[in-house]
Amino acid sequence: MSWLLPGLVIWIGAFALNIRLTRLPRSPLTRLAVPVIFGVTIIAVWECLVRGLEIPAVLLPAPSVIAATFASSIPILWVDFVQTAIKGALTGYLIGCGSAFLVAILVDRYRFLQLGLLPIGNFMAALPIIGTAPILVMWFGFDWQSKAAVVVVMVFFPMLVNTVQGLQDTTQMQRDLMRTYAAGYWSTLLKLRLPGAMPFIFNGLKISTTLSLIGAIVAEFFGSPIMGMGFRISTSVGQLALDLVWAEIVVAALAGSAFYGGVALLERAVTFWHPSQRR
């Protein structure tokens, strides 16, 4: 009981603080402070609940335990991170997005491809592509190559659909202007349409970051060498070592956010002219 009371106090206190903060005029500081207070409160209340109600560690470990496990097993986590995120997800991401980009330019060039391939692409984007994981694991072996292959298939269609949509985003007026400058197909593509497509392309790239990590992790459930985030999660769940599972999830969250954040920063640099990026 002695832990439940502080938990309640922290919760009410933080909530009151947040209400006061939102009444203040909006500033960068309150914008940052409010969500941070919210997040910290959740972790504090979680800690107090686990200790107060004496929830067994095999059900839900306390944040402090997770942090301790994280700190003590950094070598394992690093090996898993390199295996899954760098070798599996990043390789697949680069190959998948790169090839989807090239195919999208082809699709945009030829109307027949557009009419034939786009409906199929749209359809495929909604399918549970993750189901191809066992087949690709069978074809490419247990190591990271098969994970990269799953990621390629997963990111290809969202990226293709977004890029094609982006390439069609220029108006007739803009294209006519390029024609009056006597610009050919390639200079129109490079100077007008590709820059104009950038917001859509980055939308596809951002969706693909999460998909690539998910693909690499889930593909490891179907077979992997004795390292990797998906492997560690599924075996540790079997051993009821939930603190290690949560530590692995923290790694996944950090990797996912960093990956997404990196692409978002790149987007800000490339599409500085777009209304959504202006401040």
Partner 1 sequence: MMTRLVPVLTFVIVIIAVWYAAAVQLNANWAYDKAKRAGVELNFTDLVADTWSQEKPRLPAPHQVGAEIWQTTVEKKVTSKRSLIFHSWITMSATVLGFILGTALGCALAIGIVYSRVMDMSVMPWVIASQTIPILAIAPMIIVVLNAVGITGLLPKAMISMYLSFFPVVVGMVKGLRSPDAMQLDQMRTWNASRAQEFWHLRLPSSMPYFFTSMKIAMAASLVGAIVGELPTGAVAGLGARLLAGSYYGQTIQIWSALLMAAALAAILVGLIGALQRLTLKRMGLS
149 within 8 A of 222, measured Cβ to Cβ? no
Q: Is 152 in the site for partner 1 (CB under 8 A)?
A: no
Q: Is 98 in the site for partner 1 (CB under 8 A)?
A: no
- Site pattern 22..41 for partner 1 (x: CB under 8 A): x-------xx--xx-xxx--
Is 242 a residue that touches partner 1 (CB under 8 A)?
yes
Collapsing DSSP states into helix, strand and coil, what is residue 67? helix
253 forms part of the interface with partner 1 (CB under 8 A): yes
Look at phi and psi of residue 37 and say left if phi exceeds 0, alpha if psi is from -120 to 50, else beta. alpha
Q: Which of residues 100-119 bind partner 1 (CB under 8 A)?
A: 112-113, 115-117, 119
Calpha distance 60→148 (Å, rounded): 32
Count of beta carbons in the 10 Å neighbourhood of residue 33: 15
Interacting residues with partner 1 between 186 and 215 (CB under 8 A): 209-210, 213-214
Of 94 and 113, CB closest to partner 1: 113
SS (H, E, C) 14-66: HHHHHHHHHHCCCCHHHHHHHHHHHHHHHHHHHHHHHHHCCCCCCCCCCHHHH
Half-sphere exposure of 73 (CA within 13 A, CB side): 22
- 104, 167 Cβ separation under 8 angstroms: yes
Least separation in angstroms between residue 183's CB and partner 1 is 28
By beta-carbon proximity to partner 1, the closer residue of 178 and 214 is 214
Rounded to a whole number of angstroms, the minimum distance from the CB of residue 37 to partner 1 is 7
The 121-150 site mask, x for binding partner 1 (CB under 8 A), equals --x--xxx-xxxxxx-xxx-----------
* Shortest distance in whole angstroms from residue 245 CB to partner 1: 5
Q: How far apart are CA 265 and CA 260, in angstroms?
A: 9
Sign of CA dihedral 203, 32, 248, 84: positive
Q: Does 259 bind partner 1 (CB under 8 A)?
A: yes
Report, in Å, the least distance between residue 52 CB and partner 1. Answer: 18
**Whether the Cβ atoms of residue 244 and residue 73 lie closer than 8 Å to each other:** yes
> If binding is defined by CB under 8 A, does position 13 make contact with partner 1?
no
Interface ranges with partner 1 (CB under 8 A): 15, 18-19, 21-22, 30-31, 34-35, 37-39, 58-60, 112-113, 115-117, 119-120, 123, 126-128, 130-135, 137-139, 209-210, 213-214, 217-218, 221-223, 229-230, 233-234, 237, 240, 242, 245, 248-249, 252-253, 256-257, 259-261
